[in-house]
């Protein structure tokens, strides 16, 4: 599925209008309108990141990984931050955990799905029931994503 980033950018711009600290590109757009070059840059970066993450998710799915957690390697916007650290079931094998969001969730953030291995969970004193208790389904703040 190829996302219509221009449509999503318009809808995210409206979401970020209500946020106290929107990402830099959106902050500039809210102040002065979207500069065509800046918009193309955001679209190109989002498309490249989506392709990279889709390949990564396909690889870990093929390896049989089911438990993942959403993390951010660089800061994230206040909207996406609501799901940072949330566990997800990549293949739907863990009842009680929702599927992960599409990556990137918004055109500005660069989240990662990190594997929740048994060793990692044990080192934190977590089990699957703890993950389920912390689960929160991703809900797109812009409504359905475009295809």
Q: Tell whether 146 is covered by a domain.
A: no
**pLDDT tens-digit profile of 79-116?**
999 999 999 999 999 999 999 999 999 999 999 999 99
Largest CA distance in the chain: 50
Average pLDDT (7-11) is 96
- Distance CA(6)–CA(10), nearest Å, equals 6
pLDDT at 67: 96
| Residue 1 pLDDT exceeds 80 | no
pLDDT at 27: 96
Q: Tell whether 140 is covered by a domain.
A: no
What are the structure tokens assigned to 103, written together? Answer: 């990556």
pLDDT at 128: 95
| Residue 121 pLDDT exceeds 60 | yes
| Residue 147 pLDDT exceeds 70 | no
pLDDT band per the 50, 70, 90 thresholds, residue 144:
confident
When divided into structural domains, the chain yields a total of 1
CB atoms within 10 A of CB 73: 9
Task: Give the structural domain span for 13.
Answer: 5-134
| Residue 145 pLDDT exceeds 90 | no
**pLDDT tens-digit profile of 33-82?**
999 999 999 999 999 999 999 999 999 999 999 999 999 977 799 999 99
Q: Tell whether 143 is covered by a domain.
A: no
Q: Tell whether 139 is covered by a domain.
A: no
Q: Tell whether 59 is covered by a domain.
A: yes
Among all chains, which residue has been given the structure tokens 């929160």?
136
Q: Tell whether 147 is covered by a domain.
A: no
CB atoms within 10 A of CB 138: 17
In sequence order, what DSSP letters do the residues of the chain get, joined into one string?
----HHHHHHHHHHHHHTSSS--HHHHHHHHH---HHHHHHHHHHHHHHHHHHHHHHHHHHHTT--EEEEEESS---TTGGGGTT-EEESSS-STT-PPPPPSSSSSS--EEEEE--HHHHHHTT--HHHHHHH------TTSSPP-
In this structure, are residues 75 and 22 in contact, taking their beta carbons and an 8 Å threshold? no
- Distance CA(128)–CA(97), nearest Å, equals 9
Q: Tell whether 105 is covered by a domain.
A: yes
């Amino acid at each position: 599925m190829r996302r219509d980033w221009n449509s999503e950018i318009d809808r995210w711009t409206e979401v970020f209008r209500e946020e106290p600290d929107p990402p830099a590109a959106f902050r500039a757009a809210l102040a002065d309108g979207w500069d065509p070059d800046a918009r193309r840059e955001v679209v190109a970066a989002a498309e490249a990141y989506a392709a990279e993450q889709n390949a990564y998710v396909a690889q870990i799915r093929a390896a049989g990984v089911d438990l993942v957690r959403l993390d951010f390697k660089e800061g994230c916007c206040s909207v996406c931050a609501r799901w940072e650290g949330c566990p997800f079931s990549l293949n739907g094998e863990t009842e009680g955990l929702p599927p992960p969001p599409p990556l990137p969730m918004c055109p500005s953030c660069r989240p990662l799905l990190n594997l929740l291995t048994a060793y990692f969970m044990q080192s934190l004193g977590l089990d699957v029931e703890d993950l389920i208790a912390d689960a929160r389904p991703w809900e797109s703040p812009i409504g359905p994503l475009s295809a």
